[in-house]
Amino acid sequence: MNPRIVIVGGGAGGLELATRLGKTLGKRKKATITLVDANMTHIWKPLLHEVAAGSLNSSEDELNYVAQAKWNSFHFQLGRMGGLDRQRKVITLQASLDENGVEILPQRELAYDTLVLSVGSNTNDFGTPGAAEHCIFLDTRAQAERFHRQFLAHYMRAHAGQTAGSTIDIAIVGAGATGVELAAELHHAARELADYGLDRIQPDDLRISLVEAGPRVLPALPERISTSVHQTLEKIGVKVLVGSAVAEVSAEGLTTKDGSVIPASLKVWAAGIRAPAFLANLDGLETNRINQLVVRPTLQTTLDDDIFAFGDCAACPKGDGSEQNVPPRAQAAHQQASTLAKSLQQRLQGKPLSTYRYKDYGSLISLSRFSAVGNLMGNLMGSVKLEGWLARMFYVSLYRLHQTALYGPVRTALLMLSDRIGRSTEPRLKLH
């Protein structure tokens, strides 16, 4: 029997790893590669803010796991992981239900020889009262689409004459990349909606408050970039509130710890991350306080050599001599997928495993059509700040690199051509 490699989680890292291993080990019948995910389709998580604003039609940019598996010689199993038996080397997949609660697939077990966990992360509301009840998170496509429907509903009510001349108050908690990019994308959407005739709410009537507990926006990036982004956001009309920790969320808005009230009919929580809760009780594997699995530089879990973890769900040392862990970023998951693609082949050959060392190539932030800013890092040029059109082109190229890893260069080029043609025949914003 071929060695069985099971990858749980079809996000950017998990899907890239399954595709790479399928093209090598799976195609040559050297191992059986199985990808497990609770959804049938994949969309790149850094694009969810565009789905929420309507700038991106998720139905057109999604990838079907079944088709990707066929094209790249791996298998796909629909299901959500619910348990692990390390002694028997099986995982439990929960029953899958349709939208009416009818069972599609029963609970079942899946055996492995090597298990790779890449289940990503969820937004961390830090137990803030009312956050879970009144805020929308942007962890999944369904959540992003839910926000978009609510956003459009305000415009449709105004267009029908029910709330003419009213305003829309939106509060975004967390001024990291997601919060900043969503704020800019929503202001762009407001201008597009007015151009399409939904102009009883003008762009200036869309009042967005970006609320950050820390002293500045984009705290993970250099201060010069943070300052530039802050100025751009205020220039386009976003109210930026730093040093404002949220104490409570209600249906009417937010209350900060200093007693200030921020009115908002739509509220998005985009501050902090934690790994899925089920990892904290996964047959004794070591986890940290935010449920991440603790792994060694080989990306093996500390207590089981047959189980690997990477991406946002793993607490992995940077490998630079510091005590810091790898940050939860798409580039880290991509790097780790590349390392594991080599390591799992070495493992089958009985060779020592490669170790992972994080390389920071910089960060890029898109402010919709208004601007883009970021820094690129490399051995030869150090840190270089980018702004405007050039930064925007580099930002777009990140998604194209992800597509190239999944589809190959030829199909990615065809997708780029299709996108360009589509822009001339489709609305600039999703209007439903």
| pLDDT, tens digit only, all 432 positions of the chain | 799 999 999 999 999 999 999 999 999 999 999 999 999 999 989 889 999 998 888 777 789 999 999 999 999 999 999 999 999 999 999 998 888 888 889 999 999 999 999 999 999 999 999 999 999 999 999 999 999 999 999 888 877 765 555 788 999 999 999 999 999 999 999 898 888 887 778 888 899 999 999 999 998 888 888 998 999 999 999 999 999 999 999 999 999 999 999 999 999 999 999 999 999 989 999 999 999 999 999 999 999 999 999 999 999 998 777 778 999 988 899 999 999 999 999 999 999 999 999 988 878 888 887 777 777 665 444 556 666 666 777 777 777 888 888 888 888 888 878 777 766 556 666 766
State residue 235's pLDDT score: 92
Domains and CATH numbers, the chain: 4-121+275-348 (3.50.50.60), 127-269 (3.50.50.60), 362-423 (no CATH)
Structure tokens at 93: 């997949």
Answer whether 0.85 is exceeded by the pTM. Answer: yes
Q: Hey, which residues does 325 pair with through a beta bridge?
A: 317
Q: Which residues contact 208 (CB under 8 A, 6 or more apart)?
A: 170, 171, 172, 183, 186, 187, 237, 238, 239
Residue whose entry in the numeric block shows the structure tokens 């205020």: 234
State residue 161's pLDDT score: 67
State residue 381's pLDDT score: 46
CA-closest candidate to residue 90, choices 202, 195, 6: 6
Q: Are 402 and 162 in contact (CB under 8 A)?
A: no
C-alpha span between 18 and 69 (Å, rounded): 8
